[in-house]
Amino acid sequence: MTSISKTTFGALALVGASLATAAVVPVSPAAAQASSKSDYRNVIGNSMRACAPGAGPAVRVTINGVSTSKGTIRVQVYNAARADWLESGRWLNRMEMPARAGRMTVCMPVPAGGDYAIAVRHDVNGNGKTDLTEDGGAMSNNPSINIFNLGKPGVDKTRFSVGDGVRPISVTMKYM
């Protein structure tokens, strides 16, 4: 388990709270890949076929350092825009699955080539709330979190580009 300061963990808690407060609105996988950037709040499943050779646009996210096989992992993709990043209900696609200790890989489709950011949350006890002493989180580009931005790293630190194919990224979970 990675050790982090209480300040840093408090920052991750803000991310977890943002992830936890967004409403779940089920839609079909086809709707989850809609081309409109205003198409928010799509709940999808993890289908690695969307990251097969020749597929896309999608992001293959390797999640390192999952502390335990308890609870759930939630992955959300956002438009890489200040107005959307970590804002409640402003995620494009979300998937949730049982946690598996160690390393997990998911395939997150995106609506079109462009700039995106990813947030991951591990709800260890599965209660849907952010528990500062147990839950963990990660973000694309693994930014450091500090008190000056209240734990919400700017989208410039988490942004990455996706073309027409599959973009691999790796994130590392942080826990208290």
Q: Could you read off the pLDDT of 124-146 as tens digits, one per residue?
A: 999 998 887 899 999 999 998 65
Mapping DSSP to helix (H, G, I), strand (E, B) and coil, where does residue 143 land?
A: coil
**pLDDT at residue 140, rounded to an integer:** 97
**pLDDT at residue 162, rounded to an integer:** 98
| Exposure of 116 in the CB half-sphere (CA atoms within 13 A) | 29
Torsion-angle region of residue 14: left (phi > 0), alpha (psi -120 to 50) or beta? alpha
pLDDT in tens, 73-114: 999 999 999 999 999 999 999 999 999 999 999 999 999 999
Distance in angstroms (rounded) separating the CA atoms of residues 127 and 146: 27
Identify which of 166, 33, 26, 159 has the alpha carbon closest to the alpha carbon of residue 86. Answer: 159
Identify which of 160, 126, 161, 164 has the alpha carbon closest to the alpha carbon of residue 142. Answer: 160
Tokens matching residue 71? 């609870």
Q: Read off the pTM.
A: 0.79
- The string of DSSP codes covering 114-129 is EEEEEEEEEETT-SSS
Domain boundaries, the chain: 6-30+40-172
**From residue 164, how far is each of 42, 89, 110, 111, 114 by CA, in Å?**
20, 25, 10, 10, 9
Across the chain, mean pLDDT equals 82
Q: How confident is the model at residue 30 (pLDDT cuts 50, 70, 90)?
A: very low
pLDDT in tens, 42-65: 999 999 999 999 999 999 999 999
